[in-house]
Amino acid sequence: MDLLFILANIAVLLAIIGLLIYMQRKRVSFTKRVFTGLGLGIVLGGLLQAIYGAGSEVLVQTTEWYSIVGSGYIRLLMMIVVPLVMVSIIQSIINLEKTAELGKMSAWIIGILISTTMVAALIGIGTATLFDLNAEQIQAGQAESERGTMLETRLGDVQDQSTPQRILNFIPSNIFLDMTGDRPTSVIAVVIFSMIVGVAVLGLRRKNPEQAEMFTKIVNAFYGVVMRIVTIVLRLAPFGILALMANTVANTDVGGVLELGKFVLASYVALFIMFIVHLVMVGVFGLNPMTYLRKALPVLGFAFTSRSSAGTIPLNIQAQRKSLGVDQGIANMSASFGATMGQNGCAGIYPAMLAVMIAPSVGIDPLSPGFLIQLVLIIGISSFGVAGVGGGATFAAIIVLSSMNLPVALAGLLISIEALIDMGRTALNVNGSMVSGTLTSRILKKLNVETFNDKNKIEESTSL
pLDDT reported for residue 154: 52
Question: Which of 277, 291, 270, 334 is closest to 131 using CA atoms?
Answer: 270
pTM listed for this prediction: 0.79
pLDDT reported for residue 97: 61
pLDDT reported for residue 387: 54
The C-alpha atoms of residue 206 and residue 203 are separated, in whole angstroms, by: 6
pLDDT reported for residue 142: 44
pLDDT reported for residue 85: 80
> How many residues does the structure list for the chain?
464
The C-alpha atoms of residue 393 and residue 424 are separated, in whole angstroms, by: 12
pLDDT reported for residue 116: 94
Q: What domains sit in the chain, N to C, each tagged with a CATH number? A: 2-462 (1.10.3860.10)
pLDDT reported for residue 463: 46
pLDDT reported for residue 69: 92
pLDDT reported for residue 427: 93
Q: Which residues of the chain have pLDDT under 50?
A: 140-146, 148, 152, 388-389, 459-464
pLDDT reported for residue 114: 92
pLDDT reported for residue 170: 75
The C-alpha atoms of residue 256 and residue 266 are separated, in whole angstroms, by: 15
For residues 230 and 314, the answer to whether their CB atoms sit within 8 Å is yes
258: which residues sit within 8 A by CB, 6+ positions away? none
